[in-house]
Structure 1
Amino acid sequence: MRMKGLPALDLAVIAVYLLAMLLVGFYFSRKNKNADQFTKASGSIPGWALGISIYATFLSSNTFLGVPGKAFGTNWNAFVFSISMPFAAWFAAKYFVPFYRRTGEVSAYTHLEHRFGAWARTYAVVCFLLTQLARMGSIFFGIALSLQALTGFSMKLIILTMGICIIIYTVLGGIEAVIWTEVVQGIIKTFGALLILYIIITNMPGGVSRVIDIGQQDHKFGLGSMMPDLTTSSFWVVLLYGFFINLNNFGMDQNYVQRYHTAASGKQAVNSIWLCVILYVPVSLLFCIIGSALYAYYHVHPELTETIRQQVATERLPGVSAAEIAKMAATLKPEDYGDKIMPNFMVTKIPAGLVGLIVSAILSAAMSTISSGMNASATVFSVDIYKRYFKPDLNEKKTLALLHMATIVVGVAGVAAGIAMIGVKSVLDVWWQLSGIFAGGMLGLFLLGIISKRTRNHEAIIAIVIGILVILWMTLSPLLPERYGMLRNQLHQNMVIVVGTLTIFLVGVLITRFKRSGVATTVTNS
């Protein structure tokens, strides 16, 4: 699968793209003279640009590589995540955007302190930072997975190099550079996906009709089981997971909340959400189609699949005999090597010159999400931790320097997380599981504060403690020994955010009602 080096034309295309991104950072660095410009772009971003920017953040390398890999290995079950997006977007447009625009706070978590106390704000910030660490790590890993196959360089070197580039332009340009580069990146990655599909179809004997025949024969177009089964990745599990994750994205994720403040008006902020949905849903389906088309292509070229199996087996069993590797390779299923398919096809079938464009599209898919995460994480660290607990009276110059330093620290942590993830089975599975764990408590607390007006500090603390225990049990109980099997969580891991969120919200509401009822009874009796 590996090449000793890309042709000069491809390298030139990639170099031009990276240079252009750095120049954008230098260009906007002239305007970043204060914290408001760095974090809010002074509210000067038009709604259409903001919508494309949010779309580009959703369309990360996890989508670019993970969704085709999942579709190749199983079916279109991952697309159900996108089906849930319009429902979450409706809530965001109706309730979240007006709420945040009204508060005027750049951080999504400041209001939690007003509502429940400093602990709630800090808890949400910690959950957000851990979520971002997982997101950036999985995306860095996705970049390295593709570029290693194309260049032969080590994954660690690729992650380090890309991390440095992203940190530089994010520090220089602030949120405005992030948004406008994402506009360009959103266009590039969409074009790249269409180009990949075109090349697959033109190389496929029998074209589109052959892809459809093979897909129908092997059940590649299904959305998952429609049975009410919450123990597997059924349609309903992914739909619930997608709704709660997207609700968290639009309602609690600093990446998106911060952008609501960059829009010129509340109406443009709302329009940006719907533009994101209109763009993302069909494009995510496009990546499922790419995965099915790749499955059909490798179905008619089984010798290429054997090469990939050998590589995966070698990676999982380093230093063993060729016979043992061949034995393991024979047992691998498509879901075991789905993430390897896209890089392999790029190496073997995409012509010189076009490979550079595809690599640039993958890089843009990663850079947009990572740079956004760096800026958002630096913002909440500066506002919700450093200025809240250490030096609240920082002047503009020192605040901007703090934002720059925090961006660098977050970027380095993301690089370290990416290196730590090298060798995982599925980048999309890892991201879905980690995001569900960290986001569950954060979303539950947010909904409790917004919906249950009578819930106070003590009720919220009890709800959070119980919710965290439930999340920890659901996450860690599968590791219990077989003799304690009855204590294991039987639900699918994607249900962690669903159950965790509902536990915190419902426990908080019930305790509040019982407590208020008890107070009312006492008053009546007295």
Structure 2
Amino acid sequence: MQTNSIHLIDYIIIILTLVVSLGVGVRFARQQKSTGKYFTGSGKLPSWAIGISILATLISSITFLAYPGEGYATNWIRLVQGLMVPIVLIFAIGFIVPLFRHVIKLSAYEYFEKRFGFGARLYSSLAFVLTHFSKMGTVFYIIALAIGKMMGLDTVTVIWVIGAAVIVLTMLGGIEAVIWLDVIQGFMLIAGGIVALAILLFSTPGGPSEIWTVAKENGRIGFGPFDMEFVHLTFWVMALNGIFYAIQKYGTDQTIVQRYLTAKSDKEAIKASLIGVLLSVPVWALFMFIGTALFSYYHISGDVLPAGIKNDEVFPFFIMTKMPVGVVGIIISALIAAAVSSLDSDLNCLSAIALEDYYLRFRPKSSEKEQVMLSKIFIVLAGLGAIAVAMFYVKAGGKGVLGIVFTLYAIFSGGIAGMFLLGIVSKRPNKKGLYFGIAASVLFTTWALLTSTPIGSSSKEVLLLDFGKYNFNQHKYMIGVYSHVILFVVGFVASYFYRTKEIDDRLTYRGWLKYKKNNLN
């Protein structure tokens, strides 16, 4: 992908962005003397800042690059998943947020131990670790690849520069630095997207109306197909994925649950969550529409794209060839900010899990000083681990490794949203029933992935495991949906064959409402 050379002014803007990021980490470094301060900010952060931080955590550099690529290549069907999130959470957030604030200390997976025992906590926390290591490695690789091509830098060098910056600022400043930096980066991300879209809209002959007309004529406007089937990518496939994504992200993901604990009160935490959710959808839509506008621009203007350019490379190419000096630096800085705001949150939360779910189980009486020191070490180790995953991607040319990592995660962490629903639905589901549900979910996911994943590079598709007509033949996105449903159904039914022990009333939906009525009103 050939581009214009980047100007000195753009370099200065990008370097200043990294310096400010490190400065925020240094600013909060001296205050981190306890794990409560390091991981939850002592529960004193304002709701609006937490909300912007949730937004920045959800919007990574993958959004910055992949959404325009999808909008350029097809219509808005992949936006449907995000549209489901506020619909689900408007009804559930008032229960989920105060539940976690009152029944856990730090780890979201403490809830599962209280509800189903240590095995459930181990399964769910390992699922978080696996998915976020794969996610961080992917973010490092994609951002480094894009910036390397745009700025003429080596991919490995970019990985190490951004990786070192993220590790240092997260290690020094704790969750407060993460949240306040996310606020800055969140505004940068939104501003970068708005500037890019404005330039697209008003540099295209015919302006916004012509962009819309061309996009509509070429099938780039809309959320279809709406066929009621799950074999191909349809509206309903994405909608079902969005429902379970919302439950899993806001009910079981440490990066979001930990944000609930940083607020001053239940009311402030709910407000922060709603801010994050309701802002995320417009930002996703913004970057999706940038892709739509790019499609129309290149059809209307007659400008020629390089031969063989990939869909997710079109936006970076436009930035480097059509944006004025200074604006290029701002948008690349926003792209880096999108990566940093996702990665710093992941590192802080992985450290919290390593400390709370594992280390303190063996050394519960360790001092605060020791815990803070180890938390920082865990951040460094997690950051280096994510960089190592990105390096594997580099060596593999971006092929193979990503699929393996996501496949392993899908097999061994399927059904987490189903586990959460099983826990809150009633007192009847129990530990042994859950284990049957987990086993059924893992077996199903293993079968579905192995019988639907091709291997080799030949024109003839060869599956990892071929059972003929008994192969999984629906769209792969449905594997995640079914894994949650299977865990819930099997776990619920199997629980009737075993005696259920008494549990804390607050751990179920009805019990929580009763507790809230008697103690919080």
Residue 337 of structure 2 corresponds to: 364
Whether contact under 8 Å (1:226, 1:234) holds in the other structure is yes
Output the amino acid matched with 1:488. Answer: N
Matched, 1:490 2:464: no
Counting only pairs closer than 5 Å after superposition, residues 41-440 of structure 1 correspond to structure 2 as: 41-300=41-300, 304-305=304-305, 307-309=306-308, 312=309, 337-388=310-361, 390-422=362-394, 423-424=397-398, 440=414
CA distance in 2, matches of 1:174, 1:240: 36
Residue 456 of structure 1 corresponds to: 430
Deviation larger for 343-352 or 149-158: 149-158
SS in 2 for 1:84: helix
CA distance in 2, matches of 1:432, 1:196: 32
How much has 1:431 moved relative to structure 2? 10
How much has 1:485 moved relative to structure 2? 2.9
Q: 1:506 aligns with which of 481, 489, 497?
A: 489
Residue 459 of structure 2 corresponds to: none
* 1:338/1:136 CA distance change after superposition, 3 Å: same
CA distance in 2, matches of 1:135, 1:356: 26
* 1:398/1:516 CA distance change after superposition, 3 Å: closer
How much has 1:484 moved relative to structure 2? 3.0
Output the amino acid matched with 1:506. Answer: V
Output the amino acid matched with 2:136. Answer: M
Q: Deviations over 1:151-197 (max 9, x none)?
A: 11122221121111100000000001000110111111001000001
SS in 2 for 1:205: coil
Whether contact under 8 Å (2:100, 2:111) holds in the other structure is no
Whether contact under 8 Å (2:204, 2:301) holds in the other structure is no
Whether contact under 8 Å (1:131, 1:438) holds in the other structure is no
CA distance in 2, matches of 1:512, 1:87: 31
CA distance in 1, matches of 2:92, 2:28: 30
Whether contact under 8 Å (2:415, 2:486) holds in the other structure is no
Whether contact under 8 Å (1:215, 1:292) holds in the other structure is yes
CA distance in 1, matches of 2:499, 2:390: 48
Whether contact under 8 Å (1:149, 1:347) holds in the other structure is no
Whether contact under 8 Å (1:117, 1:457) holds in the other structure is yes
Output the amino acid matched with 1:378. Answer: S
Output the amino acid matched with 1:443. Answer: A
SS in 2 for 1:224: coil
How much has 1:402 moved relative to structure 2? 1.0
Whether contact under 8 Å (1:72, 1:291) holds in the other structure is yes
Moved over 4 A (4+): 422-439, 480-483, 514-517
How much has 1:4 moved relative to structure 2? 8.0
Whether contact under 8 Å (2:233, 2:475) holds in the other structure is yes
SS in 2 for 1:471: helix
CA distance in 2, matches of 1:349, 1:427: 34
Whether contact under 8 Å (1:62, 1:427) holds in the other structure is no
SS in 2 for 1:264: coil
CA distance in 2, matches of 1:513, 1:131: 32
CA distance in 2, matches of 1:211, 1:498: 36
Output the amino acid matched with 2:495. Answer: T
Whether contact under 8 Å (1:29, 1:173) holds in the other structure is yes
CA distance in 2, matches of 1:273, 1:339: 30
CA distance in 2, matches of 1:493, 1:119: 28
CA distance in 2, matches of 1:463, 1:227: 31
How much has 1:141 moved relative to structure 2? 2.4
CA distance in 1, matches of 2:447, 2:23: 48
CA distance in 2, matches of 1:130, 1:5: 38
* 1:181/1:147 CA distance change after superposition, 3 Å: same
CA distance in 1, matches of 2:206, 2:403: 33
SS in 2 for 1:27: helix
Aligned residues: 489
Output the amino acid matched with 2:343. Answer: I
CA distance in 2, matches of 1:210, 1:467: 49
Whether contact under 8 Å (1:467, 1:503) holds in the other structure is yes
Q: Deviations over 1:300-320 (max 9, x none)?
A: 456632x141xx5xxxxxxxx
Whether contact under 8 Å (2:64, 2:335) holds in the other structure is yes
How much has 1:12 moved relative to structure 2? 0.5
* 1:145/1:286 CA distance change after superposition, 3 Å: same
Residue 443 of structure 2 corresponds to: 469
Output the amino acid matched with 1:413. Answer: G
How much has 1:514 moved relative to structure 2? 5.0
SS in 1 for 2:107: coil
CA distance in 1, matches of 2:61, 2:322: 20
CA distance in 1, matches of 2:287, 2:184: 19
Residue 453 of structure 2 corresponds to: 479
Output the amino acid matched with 1:391. Answer: R
CA distance in 2, matches of 1:16, 1:163: 17
Whether contact under 8 Å (2:104, 2:110) holds in the other structure is no
* 1:46/1:362 CA distance change after superposition, 3 Å: same
Whether contact under 8 Å (1:92, 1:250) holds in the other structure is no
CA distance in 2, matches of 1:275, 1:147: 30
CA distance in 2, matches of 1:13, 1:429: 35
How much has 1:472 moved relative to structure 2? 1.6
* 1:427/1:457 CA distance change after superposition, 3 Å: closer
Output the amino acid matched with 1:134. Answer: S
Give structure 2 stretches of 5+ with no counterpart: 455-461, 501-521
* 1:384/1:516 CA distance change after superposition, 3 Å: closer
Whether contact under 8 Å (1:138, 1:430) holds in the other structure is no
Deviation larger for 279-288 or 364-373: 279-288
Deviation larger for 88-97 or 223-232: 88-97
CA distance in 1, matches of 2:407, 2:185: 26
**What percentage of aligned pairs have identical amino acids?**
35
Residue 523 of structure 1 corresponds to: none
* 1:424/1:485 CA distance change after superposition, 3 Å: farther
Whether contact under 8 Å (1:112, 1:121) holds in the other structure is yes
How much has 1:391 moved relative to structure 2? 2.0
SS in 2 for 1:31: coil
